[in-house]
Structure 1
Amino acid sequence: MTMKFSIDQLRVFATAAKSDSFGAAALDLGISQPAVRKSISQLETALGVELFNRTRDKITLTGNGIALLSDTLNVLEKVEHFNAKLDFIKKAHS
């Protein structure tokens, strides 16, 4: 099975889910607001579901976004664990 989304897109989703706007998420991530919007849009297209309700002033998670957030956080935690283990292995063999 080919992944249709990236770990970076999941990071953007998780950060935006904790925020009340894409602008706030952009500040937290150190990227532009258009980059956050594009990443979320591409992720939603890849998944085939909307993750956020958007108004002019704020964002809220849809039911689908709520349902996927916990798994997203688990995936990101596993990726961090993987990277830490990989760093340990590399240092042990250098």
Structure 2
Amino acid sequence: MLRNLLALCQITQITQRTISTASRRHFENKVVEKQKLFQEDNGIPVHLKGGVADALLYSTTMVLTVGGTAYAIYQLAMASFPKKQD
């Protein structure tokens, strides 16, 4: 039992050492480019300046919001006028 625990400790130390010494990827800093894009005064709302993906997310959100509101109003109307029993 103790031997297994010691072996597990050694394995985790080796794994941790190989993970921490692995070469790190260097990413290009794009913050300055994004700041220029979002601070530019071109008449586009800030929530749509990200491009097609932002426009698609905005449209989907609006459709779901309007559809959900209409459905909620429909359900309230159906609940306020119960069916007559024969």
Fold shared, TM-score > 0.5 on shorter chain = no
Which of structures 1 and 2 has the larger relative contact order (alpha carbons within 8 angstroms, sep 6+)? 1
Tell me the TM-score normalized by structure 1.
Answer: 0.36
Q: Which has the higher strand share?
A: 1
Larger radius of gyration: 2
